[in-house]
Structure 1
Amino acid sequence: MSDSERIVIIGASLAGAKAAETLRSEGWDGQIVLIGNETELPYERPPLSKGVLLGKDKPNVGEVHDQAWYDENNVDLRLGVEATAIDTNARTVTLSDGSQVEYDKLLIATGSRVRKLDVPGADLPGIHYLRTAQQSQALTDAYAAKPRVVVVGAGWIGLEAASAARERGCEVTVVEPQSTALAAVMGEQVGELYADLHRQHGVDLRFGTGVEGFEGDDKVTGVRLSGGDVLPADLVVVGVGVQPNTELAEAAGIDVADRESGSGIVTGPDLQTSVPGVYAAGDVVRWDHPLLGHSIRVEHWQNAKDSGAAAAKAMLGQDVAHDAIPYFFTDQYDLGMEYAGDVPRGMSYHVVLRGDPASGAYLAFWLSDDNQVLAGMHVNTWGAIDAVQDLIRSKKTVDPARLADSSVELSEV
């Protein structure tokens, strides 16, 4: 590509910003247009449900770069404007202000949006979702009054929101239709360890029940459960997952996986979509993972960083196979956790614990039926995640008894 060519990035997200950064660090001096529908500079989302909710950080703590970086690196950053259409034949992107931008290569990094509850009263003031910097700041401000908080959903966002609320002195109840916390992503055995953590910190957990609606006139005052009970609430946090923003790509004729297949813009290992010259990165991409051997979509911070950089290199013609092991982390109370790997939906597995969870420091591994390590995490056992990833990459059959034995080095399992 020459310096007269233009790469357009839809999504001024972490993935989009990392792609722009990588294009410049790899020496490309062509035009870059980075388009974002938020007004804030591109930022990382993890602090929004951690340090910001605790009142320790400002929402801009996660800014990828300051404005000077975009200016100095000749990145045409267009904030507060949305891409409304892609014409892959004309190679143009239409924006919400009526303008059009031509591209030679295009990266779609449109991310995800929160799933919203469609129940009576869902639009009452006092009901919060947590995805953007503005939403995080609004919730942080609301926590300051120490309200009675009901969290709907015991996934990662729900549990982090509950943890922050408790640490700030709020009374907290968590409502979850599954049998325990994180059951869908970690299984009941490990999920129950997280449930116990929250019980120990005074959170009232209501598992096996859903939400029928919200009560209140000018603001939310209660959460009506599927059994008919009403939980008093001054504030509600809804964390019931996200859905990838694939509509723009689908309307342009770019292949998108259906919901049964896990959604996402479909690409190969090089993150190029079904349309030559169009790539995808971040939450929105479902790519063929060359190491794991199946397609995967990852909604976490590390993948946004890694896939944005990988897509940039692929757009420059480099031989790219995006094979990073999925990774994420959480901080709740005095628990710090890092997780790596992937357990495909519907796959049978068994869990091996290494160390005593009662001690507050342990590891957990998810093994296939033939004892290959699919995923692993550590809790307050810093320095272990590299060895966990090595086990996943090795694809070797392990002895569960040796894996559980803390006296055996992970490299020797």
Structure 2
Amino acid sequence: MEKVTGRLVVVGGGQAAFALVAKLRALKDTRPITVVAAEACLPYQRPPLSKKYLLREMALDRLLYRPEAWYPEHNIDIRLSTMVTRVNRAAKEVTLSDGSKLGYEALALATGATPRRLPAAIGGDLAGVFVVRDFTDADRLAAEMRPGRHVLVIGGGYIGLEAAAVARSCGLDVTVIEMADRILQRVASAATSAIVRDIHRSHGVDIREGMGLHRLIGDNGHVSAAELSDGSVIPVDIVIVGIGVTANDALAHDAGLETANGIVVDKFGRTSDPSIFAIGDCAVLPWQDMRIRLESVQNAVDQAEAIAAILAGGSDPYDPNPWFWSDQYDVKLQIAGFGLGHDETLVRPGQREGSVSVWYFRQGKLIAVDAINDAKAYVTGKKLLEAAITPDRAALADPQTDLKSLLA
């Protein structure tokens, strides 16, 4: 593809935005770059916010991808505490929150996603109710996390369960409610849900599935209790909301770009305007005859680096090999592939105590693997998926089979 050499404007200051500009400079691309970031902080890692940062085991300066001096040294103009309020596609310029305008030859939207919050009508505006999106959220939550207090986690997805694990590790009493029939229902098999449920219950977490929230009850403006959908009332001091995210696609929608709970892109990361790209959590991309949005650090980095190569004149499309991870207590869950639409699973015990893997199949084809404290199963599964190999089912089911032999 033709190399773009004029100014690149990047909207957003998260993982995808940083990975894009860092890769361009690694490719010796010298175009001028301006990054417009809403937060007051330089780009930083987000996964530790709900883990080591919340536990105060890691300071904010250790989360920074690069120190402040790195940006001018690499001819990157980064504007913090600034938002893009309008995209003028005809003039190829963006309007910033301070009223100034900035021209571009290429525009990359790395606007991310926003956690869903509880409505104020059911107590979502009470003090003590949290989402964790940035370091200020984590700071406020950390100040409340004191042993003996009771935290209610709303949502049994990975975000909610990771928060539950941290709270329990801090000595808090934890209740998790999940409206669906089981935790992780949207993202994992029933087998994986059962394994993770047992892990949390063994740590003393009260998990209530098929349970919704009716309302939160306040005392002098601070949450003090929760009325659940079965009519029961439980005392709570803290509420952590983990009910999913909404893609930040309003800027793209207002600019007339195609959106569908995210910004629709082609296999080269281009939106319906060929001068505008979208990357990371906000992007809806083609994958195996589907349109998906991958909310993961892995996708943010891999997609951003692929688009950087395209901007620099490359022609290889982005073809993701999804993988994810989740740390809960001393358990590492590693996921290779995407189990959407699976019709069969196989549970394989690992070689070490507490290790197990769940293998997903669709119409007889291997599509994903969940590895719980089983790095060997994860690595083998990832290689099998990348090579489009479906292993012999009997051999896979036999715990005596050397997983490496499945790659032959």
Fold match by TM threshold 0.5:
yes
Identify the residue that residue 129 of structure 2 maps to in structure 1. Answer: 127
**Contact 2:344/2:360 (8 A) holds in 1:** yes
Alignment of 1:16-27 (within 5 A): 16-27=17-28
Give the percent of matched residue pairs that are identical in Structure 1 and Structure 2.
34
Identify the residue that residue 114 of structure 1 maps to in structure 2. Answer: 115
Deviation at 1:174, TM superposition (A): 0.6
Deviation at 1:366, TM superposition (A): 0.9
Post-superposition Cα deviations, 1:139-172, rounded to whole Å, max 9, x if no partner, equal 1221135421111111111111110011111011
- CA RMSD in angstroms, aligned pairs only: 1.8
Distance (whole Å) between structure 2 residues aligned to residue 136 and residue 204 of structure 1: 23
Deviation at 1:2, TM superposition (A): 8.6
Letter in 1 for 2:256: G
1:237 aligns with 2:232: no
**Contact 2:50/2:138 (8 A) holds in 1:** yes
Structure 2 residue matching 1:331: 3-state secondary structure: strand
1:296 aligns with 2:292: yes
**Contact 1:47/1:61 (8 A) holds in 2:** no
Deviation at 1:61, TM superposition (A): 2.9
Identify the residue that residue 348 of structure 2 maps to in structure 1. Answer: 354
Post-superposition Cα deviations, 1:307-338, rounded to whole Å, max 9, x if no partner, equal 11111111222112112311111111110121
Distance (whole Å) between structure 2 residues aligned to residue 349 and residue 4 of structure 1: 48
**Contact 1:51/1:57 (8 A) holds in 2:** yes
Distance (whole Å) between structure 2 residues aligned to residue 234 and residue 358 of structure 1: 38
Equivalent of residue 380 in structure 2, options 372, 379, 387: 387
Greater CA deviation, 72-81 or 146-155? 146-155
**Contact 1:113/1:245 (8 A) holds in 2:** yes
Equivalent of residue 366 in structure 1, options 360, 365, 369: 360
Distance (whole Å) between structure 2 residues aligned to residue 61 and residue 52 of structure 1: 10
Distance (whole Å) between structure 2 residues aligned to residue 224 and residue 8 of structure 1: 47
**Contact 1:3/1:28 (8 A) holds in 2:** no
Deviation at 1:189, TM superposition (A): 2.0
Deviation at 1:94, TM superposition (A): 0.9
Distance (whole Å) between structure 1 residues aligned to residue 218 and residue 212 of structure 2: 18
Distance (whole Å) between structure 2 residues aligned to residue 394 and residue 317 of structure 1: 27
Equivalent of residue 256 in structure 1, options 239, 242, 259: 259
Greater CA deviation, 28-37 or 314-323? 314-323
Distance (whole Å) between structure 1 residues aligned to residue 55 and residue 96 of structure 2: 37
Deviation at 1:410, TM superposition (A): 3.0
Distance (whole Å) between structure 2 residues aligned to residue 128 and residue 113 of structure 1: 13
Equivalent of residue 165 in structure 1, options 142, 156, 167: 167
Structure 2 residue matching 1:130: 3-state secondary structure: coil
Deviation at 1:53, TM superposition (A): 2.2
Letter in 2 for 1:149: V
Distance (whole Å) between structure 1 residues aligned to residue 175 and residue 397 of structure 2: 34
Identify the residue that residue 207 of structure 2 maps to in structure 1. Answer: 205
Distance (whole Å) between structure 2 residues aligned to residue 146 and residue 78 of structure 1: 42
**Contact 2:7/2:104 (8 A) holds in 1:** yes
Identify the residue that residue 332 of structure 1 maps to in structure 2. Answer: 328
Distance (whole Å) between structure 2 residues aligned to residue 400 and residue 288 of structure 1: 30
**Contact 2:192/2:370 (8 A) holds in 1:** no
Alignment of 1:187-198 (within 5 A): 187-198=189-200
Deviation at 1:236, TM superposition (A): 0.6
Equivalent of residue 402 in structure 1, options 379, 383, 395: 395
Structure 1 residue matching 2:30: 3-state secondary structure: coil
Deviation at 1:348, TM superposition (A): 4.0
1:137 aligns with 2:133: no
**Contact 1:14/1:42 (8 A) holds in 2:** yes
Identify the residue that residue 6 of structure 1 maps to in structure 2. Answer: 7
Distance (whole Å) between structure 1 residues aligned to residue 343 and residue 70 of structure 2: 46
Post-superposition Cα deviations, 1:27-71, rounded to whole Å, max 9, x if no partner, equal 111110001111111112110111122221124432111111112
Distance (whole Å) between structure 2 residues aligned to residue 395 and residue 19 of structure 1: 28
Distance (whole Å) between structure 2 residues aligned to residue 311 and residue 160 of structure 1: 31
**Contact 2:3/2:311 (8 A) holds in 1:** no
Distance (whole Å) between structure 1 residues aligned to residue 311 and residue 226 of structure 2: 49
Letter in 2 for 1:285: A
Post-superposition Cα deviations, 1:164-204, rounded to whole Å, max 9, x if no partner, equal 01111101111111122212211222111111111000011
1:38 aligns with 2:31: no
Distance (whole Å) between structure 1 residues aligned to residue 3 and residue 208 of structure 2: 59
Deviation at 1:389, TM superposition (A): 1.4
Distance (whole Å) between structure 2 residues aligned to residue 303 and residue 58 of structure 1: 25
TM-score scaled by structure 2?
0.94
Distance (whole Å) between structure 2 residues aligned to residue 332 and residue 137 of structure 1: 20
With over 3 angstroms needed to count, the CA separation of the structure-2 counterparts of 1:4 and 1:376, relative to structure 1, is closer
Distance (whole Å) between structure 1 residues aligned to residue 275 and residue 376 of structure 2: 40
Structure 1 residue matching 2:34: 3-state secondary structure: strand
With over 3 angstroms needed to count, the CA separation of the structure-2 counterparts of 1:112 and 1:375, relative to structure 1, is same
Letter in 1 for 2:152: V
Gaps spanning 5+ residues in structure 1: where? 258-262
Distance (whole Å) between structure 2 residues aligned to residue 20 and residue 300 of structure 1: 18
Distance (whole Å) between structure 1 residues aligned to residue 359 and residue 215 of structure 2: 38
**Contact 2:126/2:218 (8 A) holds in 1:** yes
TM-score scaled by structure 1?
0.93
Structure 2 residue matching 1:184: 3-state secondary structure: coil
**Contact 1:7/1:106 (8 A) holds in 2:** yes
**Contact 2:262/2:293 (8 A) holds in 1:** yes
With over 3 angstroms needed to count, the CA separation of the structure-2 counterparts of 1:312 and 1:146, relative to structure 1, is farther
Deviation at 1:210, TM superposition (A): 0.4
